[in-house]
Structure 1
Amino acid sequence: MAKADMEQFIKSQLLKADLIEIDRQLSVTGINDMTSMLLLKQAFITVSNLVDFEITIRSIYREHEKLSSEYKSSSKNYEFAKYLRNKYIGHIKQELIQKSIEWKPELRYSLKRIDEPGMMFIFNLFILETAINTYVNDDGSHKIFESETDLKYPPDLKRFLIYLSSTVRSAISYLSNLANAFGERVEMLDASEQKIEHWIAAGETRFEFIKK
């Protein structure tokens, strides 16, 4: 068993657990307030982490080819989630704010009300909508959806929610299968099988700043 196998097993389970809880809560509440908006943002962050993670574990596809196919079948959706994370969540791009003000003039006329309950949800919704609409090819055609998105328009909102749900659930499925693949390589100990060398190593631990 390689040490990395256990690390990858744990990481895949961490990502999966986040997505399971996000899916559970959003399935109950929908996206209608700041709490659900934060869950939505966390979904994009977690899927983006999956994209970065997948690059590092591709060697396992030699033994589990179906995992590669499963990932590829949803990779476009995952890349879109990463784009939204990079432009709207992990970094709030100034260009995105500028385009949002242009696209949604309502924002100009809501600044005095920005501290009212629920108003920042509207601001977030419009900025998210703008980010979605900037995901285009060089010719201006949309990469994921077939037209511009207006999240206040029920059919467009439904279309986006279907994308979100299918993306999160496909990621959960992939991570479950990935964890199973790594789990086959990991020695699963229980409390009755404690080994003294593990506790000795714990006692010798020296913490250092994580640079990367």
Structure 2
Amino acid sequence: MENFIKANLIRSDLVEIDRQLSNGFRHDMSTMLLVKQALLTITNLVDFELSVRLLYKKHPQLSEQYKENAKSYDFSKYLRNKFVGHIKPELIMKAIEWKPELSYSLNSVNDQKMMYVFNLFVLETAINSYVAQDGKHKIFESETDLVYPPDFERFLMYLETIIRSAIKFLDELCTALGETIDIPTHQEQKLEHWQKAGETTFEFIKK
């Protein structure tokens, strides 16, 4: 039941992110937060997928479906780890080197429109740092300049692909997980569940 609920939580986040991004990308902080949430949610999927692999024996199509996009999901996790979940000092230093404009815009940090640009440049730096030992980018075929429309569209296409493929995977995963549990109806409510709820004590949830 826990995995069923968790899968649906991740799925519902992605469905809402997809809905909002489908209305058009606005170059502002609210949309940048959607991008960050998308990267975070895909990372939650990557971590969660490890715990449901026993299902692949009965549902091998799920494994194949995930593998098709695994590299793209791993890229999303990389961006989350460097740019969203943790803002790595090394990333900021590289962004300042890559985009000297940042140094000359420090007096504008109270301007949300300018902070969207700061975020865009730091995201761009994180994207460009995802390289193999030979310096070649692991996902895109060239360096990314998010101010250059074709490169920006390429990144949006990447986002759309990972979000929608993840939703499709989670649709099937939720169905498979639902087969493993008994889902009670409202007519089957049991008093002991509410009695147990009244006896609940909360403890700090460790990492």
Q: TM (normalized to structure 1)?
A: 0.96
Counterpart contact for 1:29–1:36, Cα < 8 Å? no
Show the counterpart of 1:101. 96
Counterpart contact for 1:48–1:85, Cα < 8 Å? yes
Name structure 2 gaps, 5 residues minimum.
none
Number of aligned residue pairs: give it. 207
Show the counterpart of 2:200. 205
Show the counterpart of 2:148. 153
1:127-180 per-position Cα deviation (integer Å, ceiling 9, x unaligned): 000000000000100000000000000000011000000000000011111000
Instruction: Tell me, in whole angstroms, the C-alpha distance in 1 between the residues paired with 2:112 and 2:199.
Output: 51
From 190, 199, 207, the counterpart of 1:195: 190
Show the counterpart of 2:174. 179
Counterpart contact for 1:129–1:150, Cα < 8 Å? yes
Q: Would you say 1:68 and 2:63 are equivalent positions? A: yes
Structure 1 segments of 4+ aligned residues over 4 angstroms from their partners: none
Alpha-carbon offset, residue 123 of structure 1: 0.1
Task: Report which structure shows greater RCO (CA 8 Å, sep ≥6).
Answer: 1
Q: TM (normalized to structure 2)?
A: 0.98
Instruction: Tell me, in whole angstroms, the C-alpha distance in 1 between the residues paired with 2:190 and 2:171.
Output: 28
Instruction: Tell me, in whole angstroms, the C-alpha distance in 2 between the residues paired with 1:136 and 1:121.
Output: 25
Structure 2 residue matching 1:29: 3-state secondary structure: coil
Instruction: Tell me, in whole angstroms, the C-alpha distance in 2 between the residues paired with 1:93 and 1:116.
Output: 23
1:1-35 per-position Cα deviation (integer Å, ceiling 9, x unaligned): xxxxx111100000000000001101113141000
Alpha-carbon offset, residue 200 of structure 1: 2.2
Instruction: Tell me, in whole angstroms, the C-alpha distance in 2 between the residues paired with 1:209 and 1:147.
Output: 46
Corresponding letter in the other structure for 2:170 = L
Name structure 1 gaps, 5 residues minimum.
1-5
